[in-house]
Amino acid sequence: MASATTSARIQKRARTPHPIERGYFSYETAADYLSVSVPSIKYWAGQGLLIGFRMGKRFRRFSRAELDALAERLRAEGEVEHAS
């Protein structure tokens, strides 16, 4: 029975989707998603306009919903013309 439990854990781990598939983006993928530069993403995160969560000391991840909300705010203010 222990081998069945171990096998189930391995299968569950193998099926864990990539962060983008779960809707989470790194600085680089967030910049690509919004068609802006990485420094823009870092600036907005530093200003509190883009809320993300930290993974360790150096990495942040941003949700698709948060990126979409930022794009809408910036589009409404006229700062970004073609953000997704």
- pLDDT tens, residue by residue, 14-72: 555 455 556 789 999 999 999 999 999 999 999 999 988 887 777 889 999 999 999 99
Name the CATH topology of 18-77: Multidrug-efflux Transporter Regulator; Chain: A; Domain 2 (1.10.1660)
| Sole residue written with tokens 């989470």 | 24
- Give the integer Cα–Cα distance in Å for 52 and 6: 33
Is 0.75 surpassed by the pTM of this model? no
Q: DSSP assignment, residue 63?
A: E
Provide the total of helices (H) and of strands (E) in the chain, helices listed first.
4, 3
> Pseudo-torsion of CA 27, 28, 32, 38, nearest 10°?
70
